Chains A and B, each alone.
Chain A
Amino acid sequence: DQQVKQNSPSLSVQEGRISILNCDYTNSMFDYFLWYKKYPAEGPTFLISISSIKDKNEDGRFTVFLNKSAKHLSLHIVPSQPGDSAVYFCAATPTSGNTGKLIFGQGTTLQVKP
């Protein structure tokens, strides 16, 4: 029962272009969403988050969009840089219950070519 899905295992883009990473979820109780970035042999690092009361959150080159009716979120990276090459995980949590437990997608490997 995969409650958070990232259907694209990999994505390759040219430096300077836009990278769009997608994530779908099935659980209507999820109301807070996060994106993490992971380099090889390191732990995931937090990138950006969005609450369900918003449909967009921006931080520098990174923007997350949330479409609650479609149960879909996306991460846009503009412009993409070679240093952005990493595995990106989306994660979701229901804020009720107050356990902070995150459910992660399988990850998308982004390669940004110089």
Chain B
Amino acid sequence: NAGVTQTPKFRILKIGQSMTLQCTQDMNHNYMYWYRQDPGMGLKLIYYSVGAGITDKGEVPNGYNVSRSTTEDFPLRLELAAPSQTSVYFCASSYANMGSYEQYFGPGTRLTVT
């Protein structure tokens, strides 16, 4: 199993550009999450999904959009990139409804907006 994979690993965007961060998991997990981590800070939840076709906002959703058309994929869309979106983005998945709440994380995407 590859677990949770994320692409790209690094990206530099200009202000106002858009991009999609890709996330795929092969563990058949029903729950998926997007976090951002700023320097010296913990992980902040951007969006999450409890199953295909169901998404909801986390703590810091502004400037982002998500979709979940399949169990495996959970892309994160940045529209009109801003310097405040410079961060490391992590995707995670879990079987949260099986009495176990561990989330499995991808390796991250480091995004710089200049």
Interface of B is mostly: strand
CB-nearest residue of chain A relative to B106?
A43
A99 to B102, CA, bound (A): 12
How many chain A residues touch B (CB < 8 A): the figure is 26
Q: What is the minimal beta-carbon distance from B12 to any residue of chain A, in angstroms? A: 17
Report yes or no: B105 in contact with A45, Cβ–Cβ below 8 A. yes
Contact-size category for B: 20 to 34
Number of A-B contacts (CB under 8 A): 69
Q: Is A93 an interface residue (CB 8 A)?
A: yes
Q: What is the minimal beta-carbon distance from B44 to any residue of chain A, in angstroms? A: 8
Report yes or no: B58 in contact with A101, Cβ–Cβ below 8 A. yes
Instruction: Note all chain B residues with C-beta closer than 8 A to A107.
Output: 40-42
Interface of A is mostly: loop
- Which of A44, A95, A99 contacts B50, CB < 8 Å? A99
Q: What is the minimal beta-carbon distance from B95 to any residue of chain A, in angstroms? A: 8
Instruction: Note all chain A residues with C-beta closer than 8 A to B56.
Output: 99
CB-nearest residue of chain A relative to B104?
A46
Report yes or no: A104 in contact with B101, Cβ–Cβ below 8 A. no
Binding site for A on B (CB under 8 A): 4, 31, 33, 35, 40-45, 48, 50, 56, 58, 90, 92, 94, 96-97, 101-108
Besides A43-B106, A99-B48, A101-B45, 14 other CB < 8 A contacts? A9-B40, A41-B107, A42-B107, A43-B107, A45-B105, A46-B104, A100-B94, A100-B97, A100-B103, A102-B43, A104-B43, A105-B42, A106-B42, A107-B42
Binding site for B on A (CB under 8 A): 4, 6, 9, 32, 34, 36, 41-46, 49, 89, 93, 95, 98-107
